[in-house]
Amino acid sequence: MNKVENLKKIALSFHAGTSKDSMDLTPKYPEFDFIFALGPDGMTPFEYELVDKTEGEEVLLLIHKQAFYNFFEHLNPPIWDLFDDREDVYLKAKIAAVTTSDTRDIVKAMAEMTAHGGGGCDCGGDCGCGCG
């Protein structure tokens, strides 16, 4: 099994719910991929939750709305809309794949971070990233 390591491309699927036993907020798993440990300030708190995990493993997290951007930092998972009517969301992140990043993947990820001023909430919300 491939293990989560620095500069690997990580593909995740998310399932979210109102409690740890009820994944009732996402009828379909949103998918998200990113380059692990590429952030300008090192690993994000979210990435620390994935360290040394392997393909197929899941982590269960309780995400607080007010801590969302600090928890994910430069990453922009497609789950912000889950907080529209609630302050907390339970999130199961399943590691769907761990692959070797090519140079193009790394350059693309760095360009996206630069476009957001190095983090998910410096763009003012004009680009659709959800940080407005």
Taken in order of first residue, the domains within the chain and their CATH numbers are 8-115 (3.10.50)
pTM, rounded to two decimals: 0.85
Q: Which amino acid, one-letter code, is at 82?
A: L
Average pLDDT, the chain: 88
Instruction: Centre a 10 Å sphere on the Cβ of residue 52 and count the other Cβ atoms it contains.
Output: 8
Give me the residues paired with residue 98 across strands.
10
Contact partners, residue 49, CB within 8 Å, separation at least 6: 59, 61, 93
Interval 28-48: pLDDT, tens: 888 999 999 999 888 999 999
